[in-house]
Structure 1
Amino acid sequence: MENGAPSHTDITRLRQGQVGGQFWSIYTDCEHQGKDATISFLEQIDLMNRIIAKYSDVFQRATTAEEVRQAFSVKRIASLFGVEGGQAIESSFSMLRLFYQLGVRYMTLTHNCNIPWADQNNVDGVNSTLIENNGLTEFAKKIIIEMNRLGMLVDLSHVSKQTMIDVLNITQSPVIFSHSSAYSLCNHIRNVQDDVLELIKKNQGIVMVTFVPILITCNLTNVGTVVDVAAHINYIRNIVGIDSVGLGGDYDGIWETPNDLEDVSKYPKLIAYLLSQGNWTRDDIIKLIGGNILRVMEKNEQIAKELQKTMKPQEGLIDRKELEVHNLIQCRNLDMYPTE
């Protein structure tokens, strides 16, 4: 982190980087699953609300594409909430809906751990014994349907490839990869393979290219540069098209950054480099830095309005056996799960 700064982000550097909007990622480590995960996620939402209120001349909370544009028009930084890890909802439709009501507009289905209804990316490792759900369970499919009905973006960063494919076969709305890069340039299991990129193109979703060094260079001793990040952006653009690529830096979610992209103030360096290549227009750049994610948000909002006309909220409990497999039944009211 530059000059010993404790983070990659502060108000001064956000302004220097000309940041007009950002997702505030709400994250709790996997070890909290089935314990205090939901409380931790809720506490972070409370903290973010207090920060936005304290610096209301800088930040403005946004929950729709139109609210993002409105914040931008008054020169405030549109602030959206996203939950990173489906353990936040403790396999509960009610918690999913309550998070939406609190302003959460995307949920990464897993982090680096399986949850009772979806598998994470590490199951794709060589000789992995971590596969538990083989993608999505039947309960998970209802979660995706409910997210579509609400208008909450489905985020596929961190999930297994089979989970990606299962979601893309079910969802009625465009999905996102909030912080992933191109597998063909760096064959890390967190990145997106070409066949999945083709599905994203069909889905009209978005892959937001991350700056995580190991996902850019696949080399522990080489953090890469703006040139390496641009290569991933260009590669993904060539497959999915200019309308389905974005930026997902993952600042403050990583310890190292590529050279020349040390913090949020450095975004202009990346944009300047892309423009210098000669195959990026001003309109292309506008799509990359925000236009495309706004399009995906608007499409989710539109589909949600249509679904809500005919579809009732999802109800029911996850199967007790799925909780028992993950040793999570102890955190439940067992009166809801009578023994046979």
Structure 2
Amino acid sequence: MIYINVAVGLSILLLVIGLSVGLSVNTFKGRDALDSAPLIDGHNDLPYNFYHILSNNLSAFHFESDLRNDNVWGKNACSSCFTDLPRLNAGKVGGQFWVAYTPCESQYKDSVQLTLRQIDVIRRFIQRYPANLQLVTAAGDIETTWRNGKIASMIAIEGGHSLDSSLALLRLYYDLGVRYVTLTHTCNTPWADASIVDNGYVYNLTDFGKTVVYEMNRIGMLVDLSHVSHNVMREVLAITRAPVIFSHSSAFSVCKHYRNVPDDVLHLVKKNNGIVMVNFYSGFVNCNSSRNATLQDVVDHINHIRNLIGVNHVGIGGDYDGVSSMPMGLEDVSKYPDLFDRLYENREGEPTWTREDLEKLAGRNFIRVFQAVEAME
């Protein structure tokens, strides 16, 4: 009788364990990967809204409040406002690049002064919320900051015109905490073409442009190829000694917009061991004017890149607060978990996403690239 009871007890125990394992498998959602790896978004333009709306008066911005229905920052008042702390927390954001952007009209005029102003407001913004945000300048500090319950906050510059063709300024920006520079915005610089060649001249990547790339490699600054022309993408990838990023770009084969990355360049990104952080902007992910962009469009871009060059070379670069239209299902920064849930559904004809794959997409791919760039110093 004792042996029977032991056997019965063992059987019950094994059954319970089996049910528990089955339950854990069945209840896992894609968003759960964001509890074991930080979601790192490559591009958020909230700092430009600080300037555009508040003249950088941070005391008038209530980051800690849900601003969806705010009279100034709400969806009915501001078409390009998608960010606040409650929604970042709901979105499980663990790391964010805050962008210092100045318009192309400032080139050859006051771009340096305006860029410094924007770096200043980013730093003040981070310092204003020490319980929620922490300035991070090294790859190794991202996960530590996230595990401590804070958003790892990094600084980027969008547009090489902010350099005023000066390597000294590049180095000084690095000392101020900037960790990537987008080589152009929507205007050419004297040394690199933008995605739209805007003045009839074709510079491609000049000798000085190559020197900029080499210096960024040397000091450990990430080279960002979003916004550059397709040919400049190829030229940079042919010479860089470090992996590159596309901080907020999508796949040209899925939507033939000049801002997206062609397949031949994607193959070069794989060879370079770099990363394309997929943009959410409706106009970049859906080229079909007969319908609105949806979350599925973003899934299609992510899956195309993953199918073509592998899961190790894709990330997230939402472009929130920098554009006026986001896809249905990705309306603001609270919606990232829905994207990860959708990817994990692994629908017929789509690649299978494991938890490890989703962790790579979320942030581990970017951390790997960032570490490799740091190693070049």
Alignment partners' CA distance in 2, 1:220 and 1:11: 33
Please state if 1:233 is matched with 2:302.
Answer: yes
Structure 2 portions without partners, runs of 5+: 1-66
Please state if 1:291 is matched with 2:369.
Answer: no
Aligned partner of 2:335 among 258, 266, 269: 266
Q: Which residue of 2 aligns with 1:97?
A: 171
Aligned partner of 1:114 among 188, 209, 212: 188
* Cα shift at 1:2: 5.5
Aligned partner of 2:326 among 243, 249, 257: 257
1:214 touches 1:220 (CA, 8 Å); kept in 2? no
* Cα shift at 1:45: 1.1
Please state if 1:195 is matched with 2:258.
Answer: no
* Cα shift at 1:277: 1.5
Q: Which residue of 2 aligns with 1:334?
A: none
Q: Which residue of 1 aligns with 2:59?
A: none
Please state if 1:52 is matched with 2:126.
Answer: yes
Q: Which residue of 2 aligns with 1:62?
A: 136
Q: In the superposition, relative to structure 1, how do residues 222 and 29 fare at CA in structure 2: closer, same or farther (>3 Å)?
A: farther
* Cα shift at 1:220: 4.5
Alignment partners' CA distance in 2, 1:107 and 1:48: 15
Query: Could you tell me which amino acid in structure 2 is paired with residue 78 of structure 1?
Result: A
2:270 touches 2:309 (CA, 8 Å); kept in 1? yes
Q: Please show how residues 28-39 of structure 1 align to structure 2 within 5 Å.
A: 28-39=102-113
Q: Please show how residues 211-222 of structure 1 align to structure 2 within 5 Å.
A: 211-220=280-289, 222=291
Q: Please show how residues 149-188 of structure 1 align to structure 2 within 5 Å.
A: 149-188=218-257
Give the alignment's Cα RMSD to 1 decimal.
1.4
1:121 touches 1:159 (CA, 8 Å); kept in 2? yes
Q: Which residue of 2 aligns with 1:206?
A: 275
Partner of 1:297: helix, strand, or coil? helix
Aligned partner of 2:202 among 132, 135, 138: 132
1:223 touches 1:257 (CA, 8 Å); kept in 2? no
Q: Which residue of 1 aligns with 2:212?
A: 143
Q: Which residue of 2 aligns with 1:248?
A: 317
Deviation digits for residues 98-143 of structure 1 (CA, Å, limit 9, x no counterpart) = 00000100000000000110000113xxxx863431x100011110
Identify which range, 90-99 or 235-244, moves more after superposition: 235-244
* Cα shift at 1:288: 0.3
Flag the structure with more relative contact order, 1 or 2, with Cα contacts below 8 A and sequence separation at least 6.
2
* Cα shift at 1:221: 5.6
Partner of 2:99: helix, strand, or coil? strand
Deviation digits for residues 261-315 of structure 1 (CA, Å, limit 9, x no counterpart) = 00000001100000111611111011001111100000001122xxxxxxxxxxx
Partner of 1:25: helix, strand, or coil? strand
Deviation digits for residues 6-36 of structure 1 (CA, Å, limit 9, x no counterpart) = 4211011000101000100111110000111
Alignment partners' CA distance in 2, 1:298 and 1:215: 29
Deviation digits for residues 156-180 of structure 1 (CA, Å, limit 9, x no counterpart) = 0100111111101110000001111
Alignment partners' CA distance in 1, 2:232 and 2:375: 25
Alignment partners' CA distance in 2, 1:222 and 1:139: 43
* Cα shift at 1:222: 3.4
1:213 touches 1:222 (CA, 8 Å); kept in 2? no
1:86 touches 1:115 (CA, 8 Å); kept in 2? yes
* Cα shift at 1:256: 0.6
Alignment partners' CA distance in 2, 1:223 and 1:211: 13
* Cα shift at 1:224: 1.2
Which runs of at least 4 in structure 1 moved beyond 6 Å after TM superposition? Answer: none
Query: Could you tell me which amino acid in structure 2 is paired with residue 262 of structure 1?
Result: E
Alignment partners' CA distance in 1, 2:289 and 2:375: 43
Partner of 2:131: helix, strand, or coil? coil
* Cα shift at 1:223: 3.5
2:100 touches 2:122 (CA, 8 Å); kept in 1? no
Partner of 1:264: helix, strand, or coil? coil
Identify which range, 258-267 or 65-74, moves more after superposition: 65-74
1:141 touches 1:170 (CA, 8 Å); kept in 2? yes
Please state if 1:40 is matched with 2:110.
Answer: no
Alignment partners' CA distance in 2, 1:162 and 1:298: 27
Partner of 1:185: helix, strand, or coil? coil
Aligned partner of 1:281 among 335, 338, 354: 354
**Greater Rg over alpha carbons, structure:** 2
1:206 touches 1:293 (CA, 8 Å); kept in 2? yes
Deviation digits for residues 51-89 of structure 1 (CA, Å, limit 9, x no counterpart) = 111100000000111111221121100000110000111
Please state if 1:19 is matched with 2:93.
Answer: yes
Identity of aligned residues (%): 51
Please state if 1:75 is matched with 2:149.
Answer: yes
1:37 touches 1:88 (CA, 8 Å); kept in 2? yes
Alignment partners' CA distance in 2, 1:92 and 1:208: 27
1:122 touches 1:130 (CA, 8 Å); kept in 2? no
Alignment partners' CA distance in 1, 2:151 and 2:219: 24
Partner of 2:259: helix, strand, or coil? coil
Partner of 1:147: helix, strand, or coil? helix
